[in-house]
Structure 1
């Protein structure tokens, strides 16, 4: 690099590590990584990969990262790859490991920030796929405010039984409960285990991973079909190649993440989410990402969107279709095209890879009206998520309405109270829960868990025992996207914070009304207050320093379960 470069006006953020005579030591180190003389004037960009061997949604991302890096070089930029951690929620489910899943979102965001800021990179292509990795990276993008494009690893194919029935991971969880209830055989469960996850990729239904990868499209940080194109396909590789040129364009235009992640972008992303009946985890993550972007977005706004946007695409576990069907039917652009007809989208806002959000769905159309229904024939007139309030959840609670049987949209029954996941699952498997009950699982909130464990095992056990149409479940924990049924999570304030859920006793009547958006403990206010005053302090037997620190800093689920400053 010549001395003339010292007086050259800074063109890139990365000039802080590569321009001027005082940066000779830095260039010496960069040369050792393979940077060549002709690279100094190019943008230096991060490839934020989440390759890990133990997660099927990520096991292929080492090779996929190479595709992205080659595309970045072809676009005239210099790639620097690094990895994040990744927790597989399915493998962490049902034991103490699940306490680390939601906290991993914060670690991922912090680690991405650390790498980008320490090395002053000009932008990044993020390669997430599953569970908390996509939201963690989105939080980092919002926090850093550098040009960013997301390219997820792609969805898994649906599994198939020998007779051709489409199945997925939730089928296996429910199969375990069916076996314990004597409703299926060990041989059938073995078949489900061997058939449900046939390839790499994010689990094939509208679970959290695919919900977030679809929302990334609507937010405007991912290219069309990012949410539905299958893993390991030429189409997925083509999206990666185009993403590199989209990033180059964003850098040249100065289109940073916060210019994309506007209030209107969050509105449109949740319009898509409720139209697809996405995972309730999207609520936690959407609130957290909006906070990082300094966008004023709350539970009430999400519920208002769900009230005016119809449910158009019913994907497993709520329906029989999987992401490959959604892709075949036109993908996210086709769903957004229908919502455009409704007039709820903000078409002029900026996105990566196109002149505007509207341009990304201009030519989209539904190719299979059984998979993606038109506005004239929705599953329901309102969307697939709802926020319920009441004396049991003064700050709110969340339910995936698309997974509820009509008979359970209004329900009242006696409480069966359990202080934690393990007590509840033992009682369900023992046959102690009967039709009409309202199962209450508490002290599983962000701080109380700590870690806000997903309750897929209890919800699958209820469904597997044939009680999904007669038993409700309420928790200050959260649910997997694979959960279905009258399952209400994120109850806030949580029990550990002295929320009313801590006052519930066995036999108390609880009334749920999804249409009215209410959840009520049928106990008078004075008695609830007296019970809460009488509660003895709970000792937290948590050996992990990380989880103890998380429990001290984490905020309410109603605010996205983010860690306080």
Structure 2
């Protein structure tokens, strides 16, 4: 193993630790306060020598019965604990806020910042020297990474892994992706409700996250590409024994990271974020990665912008042939070699910062330079890429002055340059009222516009941007139309969908004043999104605009509304940006 120059080889011996551990502020010595802290914890049956100066490792667990993607993390934690014990650490499991995209209303995204804040304070306020971040469902990965970045204690990620492939009548069933496809087939009259219910049983046949390249698998890949997880972590299926081995090896590694004082600020450099952005393009990753990485960069002081996403991802070919962009699922991706193969391909193409440090103590390149691709129909050669320019397209124009995003690998090539008549939905309820109306004046050439679904508007910026098409269009055999909103969409979704339009409608962005019949121009190659109106007309409409959003009167919803930033800066809270460190507070006992 070749270590990064920052890392020096060392072996755990308690008496030889180079500095006083943070946990000793609680447990060290013979004072009344030390005995208070140690004594209470001993009621769990821990012997005295566990408090002798060995590192206390917090295992931050997002397990919850109401977060089904993370439902197996309690069992996986036992392997992490085994690794920590083996390396001479003292593991303590800590339950933390868990927001599931499957169940949380109005949307799990509204609670990502709350979870990050709770994680940050759980780390800062307790006797922890390093942490293992147990994550899975979409928002748990960014929220724990954000909290860890703000606290800057040695931290490492273990993801729960994806579900096994789903199968229905001989066809792969991709979680999420199949749901969107089949629900449209119902409206088109090409699938029965009974068949839809039968297919439901095939969609989730094992523990784990979505088996498509949805947001959960994308963010697992981002954690690995950033260097915050051990190499190979992202793709191992949840129920594969190798997932448990990865967990145990991670437990061993965090103890050494504490000794080396290897922190998120050492790993989450600009070079690491550049690697992640290019990786997202190569895997056909979720548009949700944009807001999550922008928020994470804000926590560590890296000046990352939407323009970086467009510049770095524009020439990256999408080579991972997975739904929703391709045809395979995460299980095949793992068997083909997983993310290390993708990182090697990027390195060979000059698109990887090879010297970026990872939690292993090695550089990214040292970890992946010798891996092999075992299936070139799953991880494609560049000349057979799904699209030669993957990444995330960042659009600007008078309809999106601060930017909007589109995922080219999931869009229809025929719609990448399009001009159409706007059909406007004022909010998600207006959309639901109108979309199935046979009298709705819409055809496949129109542009569907959804307002008031951004961070403040929904609230929380829900995954509703991939609006289902009207039945009258679906019955023609049409499966895609241009759709524009200030919302997000699921990473499992697909289509020519313009998302994250900023400023959002709820704060008076130009999207707010679009009317039925306005002409809109989309030009993805030239990164242009244009409302075809004279500027004087736009200015007059904006001057006359009044918000229809009711501000929350109290509680977390009020805090969210008052402090959330725009999607173009990560939709984080303005007061959470930056690293506040892990200094121990005053002991009041």
Q: What SS class does the counterpart of residue 58 from structure 2 fall into? A: strand
Structure 1 distance, partners of 2:134, 2:199, is 30
CA gap 1:88/1:9 in 2 versus in 1, 3 angstroms: closer
Decide whether the 8 Å contact of 1:123 with 1:147 is kept in 2. yes
Matched, 1:528 2:541: no
How far apart are 1:548 and its partner, in Å? 2.2
Q: What is the CA distance between 1:500 and its match in structure 2?
A: 0.4
Deviates more, 1:384-393 or 1:348-357: 348-357
CA shift for structure 1 position 100:
3.8
The answer to whether the 8 Å contact 2:215/2:285 transfers is yes
Distance (whole Å) between structure 2 residues aligned to residue 9 and residue 417 of structure 1: 63
RMSD between aligned residues: 2.0
C-alpha distance in structure 1 between counterparts of 2:293 and 2:389, whole Å: 19
Q: Tell me the distance in 2 between the aligned counterparts of 1:216 and 1:460.
A: 34
Residue 491 of structure 1 deviates from its aligned partner by 0.1
- Greater Cα shift, 307-316 or 257-266: 307-316
Which residue is 1:439 aligned to?
Answer: 448
SS of 1:439 mapped into structure 2: strand
TM-score by length of 1: 0.94
Q: Give 1:16's aligned residue.
A: 25
Structure 2 distance, partners of 1:192, 1:542, is 40
Correspondences of 1:151-162 after superposition (within 5 Å): 151-162=158-169
- Say yes or no: does 1:495 pair with 2:505: yes
CA distance in 2, matches of 1:198, 1:9: 48
Residue in structure 1 matched with residue 200 of structure 2 by the alignment:
193
DSSP-derived class of the 2:201 partner: helix
Give the structure 2 partner of residue 288 of structure 1. Answer: 295
Structure 2 residue 547 is the aligned partner of structure 1 residue 540: no
Partner in structure 1 of residue 122 of structure 2: 115
The alignment status of 1:80 with 2:92, answered yes or no, reads yes
Gaps of 5+ in 2: 1-13, 576-589
Q: After the TM superposition, which of the residue ranges 407-416 and 158-167 deviates more from structure 2? A: 158-167
| Aligned residue number for residue 182 of structure 1 | 189
Q: Return the alpha-carbon distance in structure 2 between the equivalents of residues 558 and 354 of structure 1.
A: 33
2:376 to 353, 369, 372: 369
Deviates more, 1:540-549 or 1:355-364: 540-549
- What is the Cα deviation at residue 457 of structure 1? 6.5
Match of 2:587 in 1: none
Shift of 1:108: 1.4
Task: Pick closer, same or farther for the CA change 1:149–1:333 going to 2, 3 Å.
Answer: same
1:506 to 500, 516, 527: 516
Question: Post-superposition shift, 1:453?
Answer: 1.1
Matched with 1:257 is 264
Q: 1:530 to 1:42 in 2, by over 3 A?
A: same
Q: Given the superposition, is the C-alpha separation of residues 407 and 65 from structure 1 closer, same or farther in structure 2, using an over 3 Å criterion? A: same
Counterparts of 1:241 and 1:212 in 2: how far apart (Å)? 21
Could you say if the C-alpha distance between residues 460 and 128 of structure 1 is closer, same or farther in structure 2, counting changes exceeding 3 Å? farther
Answering whether residue 35 of structure 2 is matched by residue 28 of structure 1, we say no
The corresponding residue for 2:392 is 385
**CA apart distance, 1:296:** 0.8
Contact 1:459 1:473 in 2 (8 A): no
The residue correspondences of 1:413-492 to structure 2 (distance < 5 A) are 413-431=420-438, 432=440, 433-455=442-464, 458-459=467-468, 470-492=480-502
Change (3 A) 1:318 1:112: same
Gaps in structure 1 of 5+ consecutive residues: none
User: Structure 1's 206 and 466: CA in aligned 2 closer, same or farther, altered over 3 A?
Assistant: farther
Quick check: 1:213–1:227 contact (8 Å CA) kept in 2?
yes
- Which of 298, 315, 318 aligns to 1:311? It is 318
Evaluate the alpha carbon distance shift between residue 464 and residue 330 of structure 1 in structure 2; reply closer, same or farther with a 3 A threshold: farther
SS at match of 1:30: helix
Paired residues of 1:181 and 1:429 also in contact (CA < 8 A): no
User: Deviation of residue 460 (structure 1)?
Assistant: 7.2
Q: Which residue of 2 aligns with 1:144?
A: 151
* Deviation readout 1:184-236 (Å, 9 max, x if unpaired): 11121112211111111011101101000011111001012211100022100
CA–CA separation in structure 1 for the residues paired with 2:485 and 2:546: 20
Question: SS at 2:435's partner residue?
Answer: helix
Whether the aligned pair in 2 keeps the contact of 1:44 and 1:121 (CA below 8 Å) is: yes
Corresponding position of 2:8: none
2:55: which partner in 1? 43
Partner of 1:277: 284
* DSSP 3-state at the match of 1:13: coil
Q: Do the aligned residues in 2 keep the contact of 1:166 with 1:320 (CA within 8 Å)? A: no
Residue by residue, what CA displacement relative to the aligned partner does 1:511-563 show, whole Å, maximum 9, x if unpaired?
11111111100011111110011112324165763212201110111000011
Deviations 1:255-275 (A, max 9, x none): 111100000000001111111
SS in 1 for 2:125: helix
Contact 2:107–2:460 (Cα < 8 Å) also in 1: yes
- After superposition, the C-alpha distances for 1:21-52 in whole angstroms (9 at most, x for unaligned) are 22221111222233322212210010011101
SS at match of 1:151: strand
1:321 aligns with 2:328: yes
